[in-house]
Amino acid sequence: MSLRLRILLFFALLGLGAVAAMTVGAAFASARAASAEATRALLVASVVAGVLILVLVAAVWLLFDAHVARAIEALAGALRVRAHGGVDTAVDEAAARYLGDLAPAAAALSRRLAAARDAEAEAIARETTRLALDTTRLEAVLAHLPLAVLACSGDHRVVLHNALALDCVGADPGPGLDRDLRAHLDAGAVVDARAQLLADAGADPVRRFTCRTLAQRPLDAWMRLLPGAEWEGADGPGYLLVLDRAPGRPVPAARAGIVHDFELLSRRRGDPAGEASLHALACVVFDTETTGLLPSQDAIVQIAAVRIVNGRVVAGDTFETLVDPRRPIPAGATAIHGIDDDAVAGAPRVADAAARFHRFAGDSVLVAHNAAFDMAFLRRAEAACGCRFRQPVLDTVLLSAAVFGTAEDHSLDALCRRLEVTIPAGARHTAMGDAVATAEAFLRLLAVLRGRGLVTLDAVMAETAQHARMLRMTH
């Protein structure tokens, strides 16, 4: 139970206990009253006194809830985001002015933490500047080599790719970070090549073969196992895959350079999704813009999403499309998101857009701000697109309530303000701008929840379900 609910129960028991004690006393006195008139007068006085006691207890509870319980809840949330979420602004002492020296002490601790974090960050920055510069230079060189390169873990999850690999495979979505390569290329050829390399036990370190894209375009390829135990994950050694582009096909300019995360090699994937660390699960943070606020009547006009892998937003792994709602867009909606009838002319219909978004999301956890609203539009489109959105869903409104308490404002603007997430001018109320801001807020909220011991998807969803009930009760 939350602190506010515990305090409410305490005052409720206090009031009921006082009334019960008065009732017992009145009954005892009535039994010894000299006349029926005295008994009636005593009972009336007892009822009036009982009502006054309940009113007094309720009034004291309201004051206590407003100035103590809510203040403690807000102060705890502020300290959590400063301890785990990377927020450095000063604690608002005025909000907890009735808590004595607790708020000034919390503010002093926050300042010391910020100073220590700044000193640590400066020291780390000095030590890593040279390494980061070398890495950037190496990635810049590799990004312009005319080779389509992929590195995968033992269970065929992509841990590195360059822009040419995405262009060479040509799927929608492409084989991005932590995606299963077997869903983008001829799975049998890739699996057989790795199995042959393992069976050869080093006799032939390179396996040359032909595989096909989803569009049945043949590609010459060669594969070799990644050397050394440091490259070997829970499913055995990973591998490097180089794809040979068609002769004479022009080499495009590198779009996203090298994208990699070698920590994915050692990730355990045997646990059920709910029991796995949420940090280890891929998440797709998305937002929709619509013709209005009624999912049963209105329609989507834009969908955008970014992908989070291993606790960071993956550069270039995004989804964005306008959607033709097949109806006029009201001027009031256009005033909010800036999308009018001319903008969506020729855009895909919702069936195609929702199907593409479903492929982009895959088996990732879906995340949105006020997710029930966005998911209602997507689920209405399920029949048309022929797919079901069965992925787990997290709502940053509920995550915010779990961190800051149900009494706070949980709008996206308020949440970003508390977490020091900046939304660029002009990006607010665009699907991509809101998705990016929600993703940054989501990562900071996860860090706070992790500090409270809420690590797995099941634990976080149970916590948000509890706060969803509390939000319904208080609003």
- The residues assigned a catalytic role are 429
Sheet of strand 258-260, all strands in order from the earlier edge strand to the far edge:
207-212, 218-225, 239-244, 148-152, 158-162, 258-260
DSSP state letters, 210-256: EEEBTT--EEEEEEEEPPSGGGEETTEE-EEEEEEPPTTPPPPPPSS
Taking the C-alpha atoms of residue 179 and residue 161, their distance in angstroms, rounded to an integer, is: 11
Six-digit token pair at 113?
A: 């933490």
Place of tokens 């809840």: 73
Distance (Å, rounded) from C-alpha 96 to C-alpha 102? 8
**Are the beta carbons of 185 and 213 closer than 8 angstroms?**
yes
Contact predicate 228/249, CB 8 Å: no
Residue with tokens 């390179």, as numbered in its chain: 206
Residue 192 to residue 207: CA distance in whole angstroms: 10
Contact between 193 and 114 under an 8 Å Cβ cutoff? The reply is no
Structure tokens at 121: 């960050």
Q: Would you give the distance in Å from CA 325 to the centre of its chain? A: 27
295 and 177 in contact (C-beta within 8 Å)? Answer: no
Burial of residue 132, with CB atoms counted within 10 A of its CB: 0-12 exposed, 13-18 middle, 19 or more buried: exposed
Q: Which two tokens mark 104?
A: 């000034």
In a 13 Å sphere around the CA of 352, the CA atoms on its Cβ side amount to 11
Helix, strand and coil content of the chain, in percent to the nearest 5, comes to: 55, 15, 30
Between CA 234 and CA 239 the distance in angstroms is 14
- DSSP 3-state of 152: strand
CA atoms within 13 A on the CB side of 12: 6
As a whole number of angstroms, the distance between CA 213 and CA 15 comes to 72
